[in-house]
A and B are shown apart, each in its own frame.
Chain A
Amino acid sequence: AQSVSQHNHHVILSEAASLELGCNYSYGGTVNLFWYVQYPGQHLQLLLKYFSGDPLVKGIKGFEAEFIKSKFSFNLRKPSVQWSDTAEYFCAVRPYSSASKIIFGSGTRLSIRP
């Protein structure tokens, strides 16, 4: 079955630290890839997405993600986190063979110490 794995359930960092959140998926074909963020008390919102082209994708608020097809990975990175990045982050994958369904990971809670 297709699945999305987010390796870390809870990450705690200090401000200005670098961030990398892992995301791996199990599907051999073409995929669309997404990272969503849910700030405390707010809606899920799109952080960035990859459909095709340059595998290094830049999103809002200084986030970026790199699609490595050979590793089935789409890790999220930010060089220097801020307290306001405290949120839950969800990786999501949509295989072309089931284009209607986006499969979400279980999420990673990020806590930033001021």
Chain B
Amino acid sequence: GAGVSQSPSNKVTEKGKDVELRCDPISGHTALYWYRQSLGQGLEFLIYFQGNSAPDKSGLPSDRFSAERTGGSVSTLTIQRTQQEDSAVYLCASSRRMEGLAGDTQYFGPGTRLTVL
């Protein structure tokens, strides 16, 4: 497809289990972002990948969270030892590389709804 895809669309897990969330960005988009959307909390930045540069991990809430991006395309967000407060919708977005100060536009995927019991 032409848009950003994410899988699974829904994930229910038990507290303490590890989960992996996948994001397929738009072809040709070199920038990839992960956000978390909690009820009434807006979008919380998690991590940003741009080409071969070191990722900006400054938004990851704890060391239980990690992400990788293989081959400059698909990305996986891993949450280890999940906690109930990790329950949220996890959104992925991609964009073309910024040029100077022109800025760029993010295109969002449908999200993965994570529920930790």
Contacts and interface: CB of A to CB of B under 8 A. Distances in A.
Interface of A: 4, 6, 9, 30, 32, 34, 36, 42-46, 49, 51-52, 90, 92, 94, 96, 99-107
A9 B103 CA distance: 28
A100 B42 contact: no
Given A43-B3, A104-B43, A107-B42, A49 B56 contact: no
Contacts of B101: 30, 51-52, 96
B96 to A, nearest CB: 13
B99 to A, nearest CB: 11
Interface residues of B, number: 29
A52 B103 CA distance: 10
Contacts of A94: 103
Given A100-B50, A100-B56, A49 B40 contact: no
6 contacts: A32-B103, A42-B110, A43-B3, A49-B105, A101-B59, A105-B42
A101 B103 contact: no
A101 B31 CA distance: 11
Interface in B65-117: 91, 93, 98, 101-103, 105-111
Q: Which secondary structure dominates where chain B touches chain A? A: loop
B56 A90 contact: no
A102 B40 CA distance: 18
Contacts of B40: 9, 106-107
B41 A106 contact: yes
Contact of B108 (A6, A30, A32, A45): A45
Given A9-B40, A43-B109, A105-B42, A100 B48 contact: yes
B48 A101 contact: yes
Contact of A51 (B31, B44, B103): B103
A9 B110 CA distance: 22
A92 B103 CA distance: 13
Given A90-B43, A104-B42, A106-B40, A43 B98 contact: no
* 4 closest Cβ pairs, A-B complex: A106-B42, A104-B43, A44-B108, A32-B103
